[in-house]
Amino acid sequence: MLRKTLSLRAAATAAAMTAVTALGAAGTASAAPPAAAPTPTCDVSGLQASLSDKGGHQNGMSHEGTVLILTNTSDRTCALRGYPGLQLEDAGHKAVTTHTTWGSTYFIPDPGKKTLLIRPGGTAEAALAWAHADAPRMVKARYLRVTPPASRGHLTIPFDKTVTNGDLSVTAFARTISVS
């Protein structure tokens, strides 16, 4: 019975291939449409970084937070997926020791990695938090370098904060971050 079933399948496959070949030879078969070009990854040349409290309050128990916003300033849609790289800088734009943790912050749960298509003028947001409690090593930052996911370049924005041990936590980028 198994041998008979296999023979019937082989015959059906051969007949189908013959029909496709015949249609192609007669000029009635159409080629598959070309695959759409993949959406390019957002690059720093087409992004602007900023910080916003979004009208919410992220301050308590020696912790502070804000929302990091990347705006697509280019004329094309681009894709973002994942977490930003972060680096604190001093007043002279010299990098200072920074430790970044990806995931939930003290205030905001991590939305997880999702590919976001950002249209021209559109935005992506990530929650950023740090502590400012007394510790043996307090880092006085004046600027923050932001490296978008899958990028080699960075954007620098003002960030006049004192950060315990240079430790930052940040969520993955999401369409929007809700702050209450």
Q: What is the mean pLDDT of residues 63-67?
A: 96
The answer to whether 171 and 177 have CB atoms below 8 angstroms apart is yes
Residue 71, classified by CB atoms within 10 Å of its CB into exposed (0-12), middle (13-18) or buried (19+), is: middle
pLDDT 10s digits, 73-87 = 999 999 999 999 999
pTM equals 0.79
With a cut of 90, say whether residue 68 has pLDDT above it.
yes
pLDDT 10s digits, 103-149 = 999 999 999 999 999 999 999 999 999 999 888 889 999 999 999 99
| More confidently predicted of 3 and 52 | 52
Which tokens belong to 72?
């697509």
Q: How many CB atoms lie within 10 A of CB 175?
A: 13
The residue with tokens 């697509």 is 72
